Amino acid sequence: MSKSDFRSGAVDSVAKLHSPPGVAAAPVDMSYFSEDVFNDCAMRKYLPEAVAAKLLATVNDGVALDPAIAADVAHAMKHWALDRGATHFTHWFLPLNGSTAEKHDSFLELENNQAIMSFSGKNLIMSEPDASSFPSGGLRSTFEARGYTAWDPTSPAFIKRHSNGATLCIPTAFCSYTGETLDKKTPLLRSNQALSKAVKRLMKCFNLPDEQVVITLGAEQEYFLIDKHFYLHRPDLLQTGRTLFGAPPAKHQQLEDHYFGSIKSRVLSFMTEVETELWKLGIPAKTRHNEGAPAQFELAPIFENVNLAVDHNMLVMEVLRQVADRHSLVCLLHEKPFAGVNGSGKHNNWSVNYGDLKLLKPGNNPEQNAIFLTVLCGIIQAVDLHSDILRASVAGAGNDHRLGANEAPPAIISIYVGEQLNEVIEQLEKGTTGVGRKMGKMQIGVDTLPLLPRDAADRNRTSPFAFTGNKFEFRAPGSSQCCAGPMMILNTIVADSLDKIAAELEGFSGKDFNKKLQKLLQNIIKTHKRVLFHGDNYTASWRKEAARRGLPNAESTLEALEAFSNPENIELFARHGVFTAKEMESRHEVFGEEYRRKICIEGQVGLEIVRSMIIPAVTAEYSSALTALNAAKTAGLTAGIEGLSKTAQLLGEGLDAMVAKCALLEQELNGDGRDILALLNSLRDTVDSLELMVADSRWPLPKYREMLFVY
Ligand code: ADP
Ligand code: MG
């Protein structure tokens, strides 16, 4: 079969998919929402009242878990799971490789040769999966390789279904024998505690009674969908998640006709099934739409507490992949599956509540506004002081194609607060009581504070860290990344900053407090306003300006990860109990190693594709040009000789270039590997230009126009 056959076969198979007419929809019944979650309802149904109350106090109010209830909870959970067809349970956790991990055990026990289904308190609370192949960055030496998972009661257990049964999944933290964290959840929980402590300390300065601190996250998830037939014929997508080659199609996203366009029926049917699956898992999927690039889409949930939202986003990614497969589609979560069109991010919308008070919402009264501005300044200070580690939190081979390239957002971390709020900040800095253009009185003295605008709207989509009314939107995280990392770093640096502010304010009250606060915020703005930027973040002029301001710009992962070795950062994370120095170092090692491995795989896959698929195709093209040329000469023709010679010449040059570049790439793969990406890019230039010359029927890889437009 010639290569073109499978490509046109794939196109034909998509063409045969008929788009069924809309069905008469059944009345909506949402009673299945959360049906696969061991939530309040299930607890009340399956647990004695007193035990349910205790467990709910832990889940909802952060009360320490009473270990005495574990056996009852395990018993109830088992019955609930068996009622839903689950035969197995697993401790579900978030290892450092950014995915989720599970090792299943059945409930099966033998009693006098009789099968019984058993699940003890101990089974629930702790497990020792071998799991020694997960990266630990030196925290687990082989002679002491034990790793433990420990139940996280604050994220509810859930049921995962497959075509032939179901599994009870228990969210857990994963740590070493010596208690060092080996996962992404533990540091997140520690950082929640750190931020919670700092917020409480600060609120005490404002004379507020003790309340619960709730950190919220809403993670907007971008992704691509392509037909599975094409995917399976792209070894690069299969093995690296992105296309290493592919000439851009004449039309891609220039007309901006995809974003918010009407959603194709096949995709809508996929999205609907995704939502149904997510709703069963209690994941509040809310928004769906087409994104900027062709074949790119977005899903956004209603925000939840950050620990739950992180777990839920991991499940969102899994459900997207699984449901796509059922629809003969493939969901690509890589940050840059296609060159030349938008990549995919995961906007992390983050906010903090203190009891009923939304700390990031401009308030109704002067006191609330003072708190809002204090927290805002605290965040500005945190991001300016620690943008290096915030940048590191989103580092990765895939995300480099967004952050380091001419795409949104850049690797330079800056903050956008919006025009109106910026005006408030400027007045604050000047310490004037003047009348602002839009704002009225600007003095920060608590009793003279103005009502802030409620819709300090976000009109800048290029900023990596934007204030959007009642939350900050961190747009740098990549589409495939686990939100736990960036959220944990953000929590910690803000905790540190709020702590500093609280330390300054403690001991002051009344008018002195107001004066002190005004001066303090003024100083913070003066010192840290360089991190505020309201212009277009994509431009070269911003890069220049940012350099002038001294803002870091780590364009590549390895450079960005250095922040994990910065002694100030090590000290900061240790001080807040989020990471020990050793744990920090282990992250640096794990993430660096993961990056190097991924790049190496890309190099190897690229080399293999060019040598085994592209060079043979170009050789065939070259050879037929030569055959035609010789035939023309033999026939004594003059026409065509020049054209055929030129064509053969170009193809020949292409062949020479590919062979030479492959040799260099191979050498680099066997060497220190530092230039793999550069060499791969150069190889790509040659391959992509040949793609536009070689007969379409001969080209061995599905083309961009097919993958992006035929689905
Ligand atoms: P946009 O595309 O304009 O950024 P979306 O509606 O797609 O807006 O997404 C906004 C996200 O922000 C949603 O996931 C939403 O739940 C979340 N969000 C809204 N308020 C908060 C909040 N207080 N804390 C955290 N996330 C929030
Ligand atoms: Mg957004």
Q: Which residues line ligand 1 (CB under 6 A)?
A: 216-218, 220, 287, 300-303, 347, 349-351, 470-471, 473
The low-confidence residues of the chain, meaning pLDDT below 50, are 1, 433-443, 445, 447-448, 456
Starting from the CA of residue 347, give the closest ligand. Answer: 2
Closest ligand, as measured to the CA of 353: 1
- Ligand 1 pocket test, candidate residues 195, 214, 220, 291, most atoms within 8 A of CB: 220
DSSP 383-404: HHHTHHHHHHTT--TTTHHHHT
Q: Which ligand is nearest to the CA of 477?
A: 2
Q: Do 286 and 301 touch, CB atoms closer than 8 A?
A: yes
What is the distance between the alpha carbons of residues 266 and 61, in angstroms, rounded to a whole number? 43
Residue 707: count other Cβ atoms within 10 Å of its Cβ: 30
pLDDT of residue 131: 67
Q: Which is it for strands 435-436 and 304-305: parallel, antiparallel or unpaired?
A: unpaired
Token pair for 341:
């069109």
* Amino acid letter for position 189: L
3-state secondary structure 407-457: CCCCCCCCEECCHHHHHHHHHHHHCCCCEECCCEECCCCHHHCCCCCCCCC
Tokens 């009661």: give the residue: 153
Residue 303 Cα to ligand 1 middle (Å)? 7
pLDDT at 6: 82
Q: Tell which atom from ligand 1 comes closest to the C-alpha of 303.
A: 16
**Mutation test residue for ligand 1: of 216, 349, 356, 467, the one with most atoms within 8 Å of CB:** 349
Which ligand 1 atom is at minimum distance from the Cα of 301?
14
- Tell me how far apart the terminal alpha carbons of the chain are, to the nearest angstrom: 23
CA of 405 to the centre of ligand 2 (A): 20
Q: Which two tokens stand for residue 347?
A: 């906007």
Tens digits of residue pLDDT in 541-575: 999 999 999 999 999 999 999 999 999 999 999 99
- Candidates 107, 122, 140, 129; CA nearest to 173 is 129
Would you call 272 helix, strand, or coil by DSSP? helix
Amino acid present at 565: S
Neighbours of 356 (CB within 10 A): 6
Ligand 1 atom with the smallest distance to the CA of 458 is 3
Alpha-carbon torsion angle 227, 228, 231, 237, nearest 10: 100
Distances (CA, A) of 631 to 410, 625, 626: 55, 10, 8
Contact 65, 71 (CB under 8 A): no
Cis bond before residue 450 (omega within 30° of 0): no
DSSP notation for 167-219: EEEEEEEEEETTS-B-BSHHHHHHHHHHHHHHHHHHHHHTTPPP--EEEEEEE
Query: In Å, how far are 244, 247, 292, 307, 593 from 339, measured between CA atoms?
Result: 8, 9, 14, 33, 25
Distance 553 CA to ligand 2 centre (A): 23
112, with CB counted inside 10 A (0-12, 13-18, 19+), is: exposed
Distance 229 CA to ligand 1 centre (A): 35
Contact criterion met (CB below 8 Å) for 600 and 676: yes
In terms of DSSP H, where are the helices of 470-538? Answer: 484-505, 510-528
Q: Residue 149: what pLDDT?
A: 93
pLDDT at residue 440, rounded to an integer: 42
Question: What is the model's pTM?
Answer: 0.95
Atom number in ligand 1 closest to CA 360: 23
Among 702, 625, 709, smallest CA distance to 5 is for: 702
CA of 282 to the centre of ligand 1 (A): 18
Query: Which atom of ligand 1 is least distant from the CA of 302?
Result: 16
The dihedrals phi and psi of 162, each to the nearest 5 degrees, come to -130, -175
